[in-house]
């Protein structure tokens, strides 16, 4: 009996071991490569301008992709396929391409011609008789160029292509393909054998096809190929072999690093998967690791994104995600739960209808399903049935979290707390919003309690047991709309939702995170602040990262607009996520992040987010539709120029950025984003240089700009010699005008002199001679009078008359001669005042304000006459006791005031025409551009004012010249 029991136990143990080993065998190991369907695929169909039926591809030193086929040669910058160089080739059917470090492109065609393209020019090398189609072109590390033709191997000597060697191992056969191995040996493949030329060898050695395949793969084996293979093989960085076939592009994987024996893993990507054509005619790997596949209907690109897609079950929709303490990802959906660790592991016992999942503080997974509330520690599942109040809910659980007291909080339309075997709703009765505001998010606070996010800019904080609830609304500055995702901090909580990102701290207004360029984050469904200070936000259009340095600036200044790195579908972002279930962004172990969309999940390691270091070199393609030679002169009258430029950004060409400037027009660079053309108008003749810089998809700018210098020729009337000629003509005309003006002035002056001489003669012959006769008679009469008083009056009258005659004679002399030197205006005024008031009781005084300036003689005479006329009026009409002449010498004006204490002006006198004497005063004042006024004095009497510009009457030489120039202009 005991023996039988032992046997049964042994059998049971063996069955257990067999089952365990079988289960372990059934769990497939994780692939060492990324499946092709997890790569980012982009199609360039022929209908969009891509060449069809391409047979050869290469990439030049500047980064441009070159494609050749039956329709010619094309250059691709990521946007435009340019076939302008095809007419330079001797034959359009291109079979092979090679770009060399010197910037040249070598082209081999079906007829056997090899052409070197450089700087837009073609050099065709003649083919040898019977040389055959150029299958491939290659270059060894020593700089030697090799051509594999169907007839054999050819070497370029620098001037021609020659056969190497002249004899080959027997039997001779048609060459199918060739390549250069890492050891720089050259391999040629024939139908049933292979040839190898060792480095430095002058002959071939005969090898097997297996040797060729092993050298091609880099390890033994690797013989399997698809029966419908069309294109040569290319090995990627993961050791996966790509080749073209009639069925599409085929990827061949021999797992592990040992010999590639046995049946490999084969992936085929065909037209039904999205390939532009049914077959793949050529495969090429560019310098950034992306693969290009040519089909009969276009070009396809395959490249790795920055995200690592998770291979979910096919029926997964709106997955909820959580990460445990072992860096395992848990994905739950309506179809069930899957754990992604070293290998994917489904958990059918967890049930279905899962809409919310979270991680406990101890690292276990907490979730709800049709089975109830589940706790999974990676080994066992503990199921806690949910009360009917929960299971009968018409809505799914939006979010859940565990409090520090072990209670579980569920988010339906409102909050529910599950603890002690009972469930309790928390709404208005508990101080929280009611059913009018849907509960969207739950997150444990950093210290204790929970944060709850609701509709309508509402957030609540409460303790784990549901007490001390506090509600914060839009009155505190919250503006995100629906609060969909929360991320607690020690001092507050990050919020995101319908529009925007905010940080809220109780007792303070919410701070909005402003993004550079005025960008607004829409429908944020996940937010994380990492330990290093980086902030991540998952939104409707992608994942945003704000670096720690930018966040520091924002914490110091809330008005600072932060620049953010934006990752979207072009980076492998899984796509748009609805608000349920939330959050769509969770942290993993270390800095790893997990992102969920409605249909997929992907991981992201920020440590691998290194920018592409390759700087694109910009190229100026055309100016006004054609290529310019350096320093070319454009036709006269050219005022509008259109520049077309580009740069090779193949991965994500939409993110390429450009900035340009044109000398003599732009002082700084113009940053124009992804625009690849520039237009300038109203350009003047002269020399210009147009410069353009480019940045790749990660914003890494080229260091040296592409330049094109040119000159716009002027019309003859825009040239320098024409401007000098015009200036000379203008100077000549001005001189002629000046000479004519001098002649006119000379004529006028001569006429004036002659008129002055005539007036002088007439005055001398009539007035002065008659006055002289009258004075003689009066002198005789005065001598005859014996009465002393009468004689004194006559003597005084004679003196006045003689003085008047002397002044008249001086005036006549002045008419014939140049003005006499100035004396002293003040002395003359005082003499005139004393003489005029000598036989009266009127007291007169001349007051001076400022330093006396010399006055021009003619101006002095006029000023003396003006003052004398005003004093005579005082004597005749004012009935005054005193008269004062106040002279002020200013820098800009000479002011003279004559005031008395007489009876003043009669009412209305200022409105009547001036007397002949006062009219003369005004005219003399106007002669020197002065101003004359007369009015009632203060407190009584009359005051007359004369103001004359100093520049007109002061006798300084500089002032005289300025005044003469002024008079000349006025004339």
Domain spans of the chain, in order of start:
40-305, 307-385, 396-485, 619-714, 719-817, 823-971
Quote the percentage of the chain above a pLDDT of 90: 53
Return all residues near 969 (Cβ < 8 A) that are at least 6 apart.
none
- pLDDT tens for 265-324 read 999 999 999 999 999 999 999 999 999 999 999 999 999 999 999 989 888 888 999 998
- pLDDT tens for 81-130 read 999 999 999 988 999 999 999 999 999 999 999 999 998 899 999 887 76
Q: What pLDDT is recorded for position 191?
A: 87
- pLDDT tens for 450-496 read 999 999 999 999 999 999 999 999 999 999 999 999 999 999 999 99
Distance from C-alpha of 865 to C-alpha of 858, rounded to nearest angstrom = 11
C-alpha distances out from residue 481 to 523, 540, 561, Å:
9, 15, 21
Beta-bridge partners for 180: 186
Task: Look at the domain 619-714 and name its fold.
Answer: Immunoglobulin-like (2.60.40)
Query: Does the domain spanning 40-305 belong to CATH 2.130.10.10?
Result: yes
- pLDDT tens for 578-620 read 877 778 999 988 889 999 999 899 999 998 888 889 999 999 9
Distance from C-alpha of 20 to C-alpha of 14, rounded to nearest angstrom = 10
Distance from C-alpha of 205 to C-alpha of 167, rounded to nearest angstrom = 11
* Residue 171 three-state SS: coil
Give the mean pLDDT of 213-217. Answer: 91
Check whether 957 has a pLDDT greater than 70.
no
Q: What pLDDT is recorded for position 814?
A: 60
- pLDDT tens for 761-777 read 676 667 766 776 777 77
Q: What kind and span of H or E run contains 483?
A: strand 483-489
Opening angle at CA 785, ends 781 and 788, nearest 5: 130
**Bigger pLDDT: 75 vs 434:** 75
Check whether 910 has a pLDDT greater than 80.
no
Tokens of 745: 């002035």
CATH of domain 307-385: 2.40.10.500
DSSP string covering 339-391: EESSSEEEEGGG-S---EEEE-TTS-EEEEETTEEEEE-SS-EEEEPPPHHHH
Residue 332 C-alpha from the chain's centroid:
44
Distance from C-alpha of 757 to C-alpha of 861, rounded to nearest angstrom = 19
Q: Cis (ω within 30 of 0) for the bond into 171? A: yes
Distance from C-alpha of 703 to C-alpha of 695, rounded to nearest angstrom = 10
Question: How much helix, strand and coil, in percent to the nearest 5, is found in the chain?
Answer: 25, 35, 40
C-alpha distances out from residue 854 to 890, 924, 955, 956, 962, Å:
12, 19, 5, 8, 16
Check whether 966 has a pLDDT greater than 90.
no
Q: What is the mean pLDDT of the chain?
A: 86
Domain range 823-971, CATH class: alpha beta
Q: What pLDDT is recorded for position 839?
A: 77
* Residue 290 three-state SS: coil
Which of 33-47, 48-62, 76-90, 419-433 shows the lowest per-residue confidence on average (mean pLDDT)? 419-433
């Amino acid at each position: 009996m005991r023996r039988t029991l032992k046997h049964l136990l042994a059998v049971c143990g063996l069955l257990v071991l067999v089952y365990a080993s079988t289960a372990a065998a059934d769990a497939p190991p994780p692939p060492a490569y990324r499946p092709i369907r997890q790569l980012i695929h982009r199609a360039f169909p022929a209908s969009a301008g891509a060449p069809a039926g391409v047979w050869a591809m290469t990439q030049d030193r500047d980064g441009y992709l070159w494609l050749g086929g039956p329709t010619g040669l094309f250059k691709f910058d990521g946007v435009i396929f340019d076939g302008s160089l095809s007419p330079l080739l001797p034959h359009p059917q291109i079979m092979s391409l090679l770009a060399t470090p010197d910037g040249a492109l070598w082209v081999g065609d079906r007829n056997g011609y090899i052409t070197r393209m450089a700087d837009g020019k073609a050099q065709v090398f003649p083919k040898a008789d019977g040389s055959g189609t150029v299958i491939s072109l290659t270059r060894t590390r020593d700089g030697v160029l090799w051509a594999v033709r169907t007839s054999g191997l050819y070497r370029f000597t620098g001037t021609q292509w020659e056969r190497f060697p002249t004899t080959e191992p027997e039997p001779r056969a048609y060459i199918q393909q060739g390549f250069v191995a890492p050891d720089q040996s050259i391999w040629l493949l024939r139908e049933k054998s292979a040839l190898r030329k060792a480095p430095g060898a002058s002959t071939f050695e005969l090898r097997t096809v297996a040797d060729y395949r092993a050298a091609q793969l880099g390890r033994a084996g690797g013989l399997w190929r698809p029966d419908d293979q069309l294109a040569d093989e290319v090995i990627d960085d993961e050791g996966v072999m790509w080749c073209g076939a009639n069925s599409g592009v085929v990827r061949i994987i021999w797992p592990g690093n040992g010999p590639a024996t046995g049946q490999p893993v084969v992936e085929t990507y065909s037209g039904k998967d999205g390939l532009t054509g049914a077959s793949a005619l050529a495969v090429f790997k560019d310098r950034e690791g992306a693969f290009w596949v040519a089909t009969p209907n276009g070009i396809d690109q395959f490249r790795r994104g920055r995200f690592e897609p998770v291979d979910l079950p096919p029926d997964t929709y709106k997955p909820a995600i959580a990460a445990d303490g072992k860096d395992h990802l848990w994905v739950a959906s309506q179809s069930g739960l899957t754990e992604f660790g070293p290998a994917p592991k489904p958990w059918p016992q967890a049930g279905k209808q899962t809409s919310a999942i979270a991680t406990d503080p101890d690292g276990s997974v907490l979730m709800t399903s049709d089975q109830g509330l589940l706790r999974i520690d990676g080994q066992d599942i503990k199921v806690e049935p949910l009360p009917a109040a929960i299971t009968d809910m018409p809505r799914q659980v939006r979010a859940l979290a565990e409090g520090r007291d072990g209670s579980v909080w569920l988010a339906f339309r409102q909050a529910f707390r599950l603890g002690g075997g009972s469930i309790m709703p928390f709404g208005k009765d508990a101080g929280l919003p009611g059913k009018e505001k849907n509960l969207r998010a739950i997150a444990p606070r950093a210290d204790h309690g929970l944060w709850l996010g609701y509709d309508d800019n509402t957030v609540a904080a409460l303790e784990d047991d549901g007490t001390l609830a506090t509600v914060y609304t839009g009155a505190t500055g919250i503006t995100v709309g629906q609060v969909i995702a929360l991320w607690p901090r020690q001092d507050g909580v990050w919020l995101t939702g319908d529009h925007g990102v905010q940080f809220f701290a109780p007792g303070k207004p919410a701070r909005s995170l402003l993004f550079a360029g005025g960008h607004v984050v829409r429908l944020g469904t996940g937010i994380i602040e990492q330990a290093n200070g980086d902030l991540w936000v998952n939104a409707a259009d992608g994942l945003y990262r704000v670096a720690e340095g930018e966040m520091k600036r924002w914490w110091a200044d809330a008005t600072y607009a932060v620049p953010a790195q934006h990752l979207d579908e072009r980076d492998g972002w899984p796509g748009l996520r609805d608000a349920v279930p939330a959050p769509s962004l969770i942290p993993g172990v270390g800095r790893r992040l997990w992102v969920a969309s409605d249909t997929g999940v992907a991981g992201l390691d920020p440590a691998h987010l290194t920018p592409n270091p390759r700087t694109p070199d910009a190229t100026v393609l055309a100016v006004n539709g054609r290529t310019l030679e350096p320093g070319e002169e454009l036709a006269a009258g050219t005022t509008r120029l259109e520049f077309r430029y580009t740069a090779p950004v193949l991965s994500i060409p939409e993110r390429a950025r450009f900035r340009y400037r044109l000398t003599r027009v732009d002082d700084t660079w113009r940053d124009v984003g992804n625009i690849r053309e520039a237009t300038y108008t109203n350009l003047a003749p002269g020399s210009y240089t147009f410069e353009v810089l480019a940045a790749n998809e990660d914003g890494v700018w080229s260091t040296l700009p592409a330049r094109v210098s040119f000159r716009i020729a002027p019309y003859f009337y825009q040239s320098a010699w024409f401007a000098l000629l015009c200036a000379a003509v203008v100077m000549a005309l001005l001189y002629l005008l000046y000479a004519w003006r001098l002649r006119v002035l000379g004529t006028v002056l001569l006429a004036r002199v002659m008129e002055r001489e005539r007036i002088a003669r007439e005055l001398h012959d009539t007035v002065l001679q008659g006055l002289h006769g009258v004075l003689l008679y009066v002198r005789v009469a005065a001598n005859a009078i014996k009465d002393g008083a009468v004689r004194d009056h006559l003597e005084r009258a004679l003196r006045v008359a003689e003085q008047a005659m002397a002044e008249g004679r001086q005036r006549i002399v002045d008419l014939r001669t140049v003005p006499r030197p100035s004396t002293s205006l003040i002395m003359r005024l005082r003499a005139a005042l004393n003489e005029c008031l000598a036989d009266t009781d009127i007291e007169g005084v001349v007051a001076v304000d400022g330093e006396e300036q010399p006055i021009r003689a003619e101006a002095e005479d006029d000023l003396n006459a003006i003052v004398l006329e005003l004093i005579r009026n005082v004597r005749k009409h004012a009935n005054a006791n005193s008269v004062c002449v106040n002279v002020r010498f200013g820098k800009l004006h000479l002011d003279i005031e004559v005031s008395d204490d007489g009876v003043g002006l009669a009412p209305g006198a200022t409105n009547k025409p001036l007397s002949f004497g006062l009219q003369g005063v005004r005219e003399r004042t106007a002669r020197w551009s002065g101003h004359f006024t007369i009015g009632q004095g203060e407190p009584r009497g009359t005051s007359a004012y004369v103001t004359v510009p100093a520049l007109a009457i002061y006798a300084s030489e500089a002032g005289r010249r300025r005044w003469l120039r002024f008079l000349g202009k006025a004339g």
